[in-house]
Structure 1
Amino acid sequence: MLKKITSILFFFVVTNSVSQVAGRNVFSFLNTATDARQIALGGKVLTLVDDVDQPKWNPATINLDLDRRLSVNYTSYLADISIGSISYAHRFSRYSRTIHSNITYINYGTLIQADEEGNETGTFGASDVALSAGYSYQIPNTSIHVGANARLIYSSIANFSSSAFTVDLGAVYYNIEKPYVISLVLRNIGMQLSTFNGTSEKIPFEIAIGASYLLENVPLRWYATVDNLQQWNISAANPSNATSDLDGNVTEEEISFLDNAFRHVIIGAELFPKRAINLRVGYNFRRGKELQVQNVRTFGGISFGFGLRMNKVKLNYAYSRYHSASNVSTFGISINFDKDYKRNISTNY
């Protein structure tokens, strides 16, 4: 039985490991961060073992401490696009493990409809929604935890729609006596169930590794993620960095080996991670490079924010810098509904 399951998972990984970059796949919103803490730390942290939003990115982080925690996030994104997510974890009995659920949606607002000649014929809407449920398991006599998410996805554009089913697989090494956490995630393993126009499109499959480290004498935790390991070249030439000669010949930007390597990297830091007030900052190298404007310092790729805990309620805020003309704010609230007893993650994870 185990051999059969392994063969099935291997098949899904291989069939999804084809060259993929953002903008060339259906359901690309699956790789868009929606919660404030995640966004403030750069947008793709995989090692948060105390955050009910984290299992959306790494199901191996589902643990007993997340029981009866609810998180709601909202972003007023670019071009009147609104993004939101709801996460909740629940342990149904003292003999069961915690089940995690998440709903993520994107509403693209009202769009203008036009014919082939550009004549406006009305308006239409577009939206994406994903519903997931996850579970984790600790490998006996180790500090390694593995988990999986199952996700249903639905997308609509005017009168067209598409659906899909995906699975996330994750593993995390966490030991309360160690200052570091290490993780590995395979995200968006799956296929379309129905298509927009009869043509199947690729799901944005991704392999990523993450790590975090808590400094010994300073209340600061570092985070680092290396994403898109299934594909080495993820670079795209920035038109702003193109050059032209006197004859009008345009030469696109040449991206070096080191430049492309850094585009896989996202870093973040959290000051006072265990206190009532947390300060956070992150940097996404790929976003910073792709949104760079020549001879203009836009600080694209930078994000920062804070968390404020008041008893069982925690408020989170994130500010993301995309361009000198576009910045995004994300707001989140997390509530702990567990009134019976307090758990300690060091003994229950």
Structure 2
Amino acid sequence: MIKLKKTIRIQAVLIAALGFFILTGGTAYAQSGTKTVFRFLEVPSSPRTAALGSYSVSHPASGISQFFDNPAYPGVRDHRTFSASYINLIHDVNMYFTSGAWHFDGIGTLGAGIRYMSYGRFDETDEQGNILSEFSAYDFALSTGLSREMMTGLQAGAAIHFIQSSYAAYNSTAVAFSAGAYWNSPDGFNSAGVTIQHLGTQVTKFDEVREPLPFDLRAGFTRRLENLPLRLSLTFHNLTRWQIPNANDIEEPGFFGTLMRHTTIGGEFLFSENVNLRLGYNHLQNAELKSRSRLDTSGFSYGLGIKYKSITFDVSRNSFSDLGGVTRIGITAAL
């Protein structure tokens, strides 16, 4: 029985690790070198975020579709707005996101959302390969938060996350907290933001050891150019640690190389109020996944947003080198 449980666990962990490896850019461990759990929380929930480099804390007009990126984003304009997005990773591995917002005068904007990652169903076998039953593997997080305008142009928000992962006979739950602030200048040409993500702890553990959650501190700045319909963004992540080693390092990177591993760059071309083209670059993903034998586009991303009346359609594509790419689709609608 012990061997059987070990076999089930190995299968489930390998399945989950493959999904995390591609979706979070290749790291099987947190950038500090310590193992973390619930890595699905790091997956960009919005095609817009994914297209702009996989991190978002300062992008204007974000709203409920990027609620998981910065809980300060939702505002009065998002009242009764709902968003959903979808990723097909490989075969039966799928991830779904949904979120909604309701504004209450004098209180603020309530946001709520679900993140769900399914790895499909698998056969449980004995040592001879005989099928005994089926088991499933999934990750799930339910989030709710509140944001409000603190002064003209400045919003603050916080969210709580109830998290569960189940890999066959192994299960774990956790509670985490996120908070953020978002500022937009009166002329709309400058914006900035900061967030703390997933500060929390396991409630029930997979094994006897309590493992850390993927905590992160992020900050960013966005500038719209005056003579060109283009927004440029710089976002800095993993700000609680400096060194971010990875298995591809032949030697330790210098100051600039290390700084770039904390940096993502995004550009959003505003062709009109209804059509936006997005480009992004994530240097950490490039450093972890690039092939040394050829010119590699790992870490690069692009996407498109189209708005028709009260409905916005978003799509993005992220390159992960020899692993291929991941396409995300999303829709946001005001009811």
Q: Does TM, scored on the shorter chain, surpass 0.5?
A: yes
CA deviation after TM superposition for structure 1 residue 57, in Å: 1.3
- Give the aligned residue type for 2:149: Q
In structure 2, stretches of 5+ residues that fail to align are: 1-29
**84, 100, 122: which is aligned to 1:72?**
84
2:320 to 319, 322, 325: 322
1:9 is aligned to none
- Counterpart in the other structure of 1:236: 246
What is the identity, as a one-letter code, of the residue corresponding to 2:286? Answer: G
Equivalent position amino acid for 2:54 in 1 = G
The answer to which of 327-336 and 102-111 deviates more is 102-111
CA spacing shift, 1:253–1:114, aligned 2, 3 Å: farther
Q: In the TM superposition, what is the alpha-carbon distance from 1:113 to its structure 2 partner? A: 4.8
Q: Secondary structure at the match of 1:324?
A: helix
In 2: Cα distance, 1:23 partner to 1:255 partner: 20
2:237 aligns with 227
- Rounded to whole Å, the distance in 1 between the matches of 2:73 and 2:263 is 21
Larger deviation, residues 281-290 vs 74-83: 74-83
Q: Which of the numbers 159, 164, 178 marks the counterpart of 1:168?
A: 178
Larger radius of gyration: 1
SS, match of residue 145 in structure 1 = strand
1:172 positional shift:
1.8
Give 1:234 deviation, angstroms.
1.2
1:131 aligns with 2:142: yes
Once the two structures are superposed, what CA deviation does each residue of 1:265-286 show, in whole Å capped at 9, x if it has no partner?
A: 1111110176211101101100
Q: CA deviation at 1:85?
A: 0.2
Q: Provide the C-alpha distance between the structure 2 equivalents of 1:323 and 1:112, rounded to a whole number of angstroms.
A: 31
Structure 1 residue aligned with 2:162: 152
1:97 paired to 2:95: no
Would you say how many aligned residue pairs link Structure 1 and Structure 2? Answer: 304
Residue 254 of structure 1 deviates from its aligned partner by 3.9
Task: Tell me which amino acid in the other structure corresponds to 1:186.
Answer: I
Give the direction of change, closer, same or farther, for the CA distance of 1:28–1:316 in structure 2 (3 Å limit): same
Identity within the alignment, %: 29
Cα 1:119–1:297 change in 2 (3 A) is farther
Partner of 1:195: 205
Kindly report which structure 2 residues correspond to 1:257-336, keeping only aligned pairs within 5 A, or say none: 257-272=255-270, 275-336=273-334
Q: CA deviation at 1:288?
A: 0.8
When the two chains are superposed, the root-mean-square deviation of aligned CA atoms in Å is 2.2
Q: Could you tell me how far 1:60 is from its partner in structure 2?
A: 1.6
Q: Distance in 1 between matches of 2:35 and 2:120?
A: 22
Distance in 1 separating the partners of 2:32 and 2:281? 20
Q: Is the 8 A contact 2:278 2:303 kept in 1?
A: yes
User: Is contact 1:45-1:224 (8 Å) kept?
Assistant: no
Query: What does the per-residue CA deviation read over 1:293-317, in whole Å, with 9 as the maximum and x for residues that have no partner?
Result: 1122231111101011111111111
State the 1:258 CA deviation: 2.2
Q: Quote the offset at 1:259 in angstroms.
A: 1.6
Asked whether the equivalents of residues 224 and 265 of structure 1 are also in contact (C-alpha less than 8 Å), the reply is yes
**How far apart, in 2, do the equivalents of 1:275 and 1:148 lie?**
29
Equivalent residues of 1:317, 1:332 under 8 A apart: yes
Residue 36 of structure 2: aligned partner: 25
Cross-structure match for 1:47: 58
How far apart are the structure 1 equivalents of 2:161 and 2:268? 30
Q: Distance in 2 between matches of 1:176 and 1:78?
A: 44
Mapped to 2, the partners of 1:165 and 1:187 lie a distance apart of: 12
For residue 256 of structure 2, what is the amino acid of its counterpart?
L
Contact 2:153 2:186 in 1 (8 A): no
AA at the equivalent of 1:289: A
Q: 1:184 to 1:131 in 2, by over 3 A?
A: same
Q: 1:175 and 1:258 mapped to 2: Cα distance?
A: 30
Per the TM alignment, residue 61 of structure 1 is displaced from its structure 2 partner at its CA by: 1.7
- Cα pair distance change 1:167/1:106, threshold 3 Å: same
**TM-score normalised by L of structure 1:** 0.81
For 1:118 and 1:284, locate their aligned partners in 2 and report how far apart those are by CA, in whole Å: 45
| Contact 1:20–1:205 under 8 Å retained in 2 | no
Equivalent residue number for residue 248 of structure 1: none
Do the aligned residues in 1 keep the contact of 2:59 with 2:233 (CA within 8 Å)?
no
TM-score (normalised: structure 2): 0.84
Q: Which residue of 2 aligns with 1:14?
A: none
Distance 1:112 1:268, change over 3 A: farther
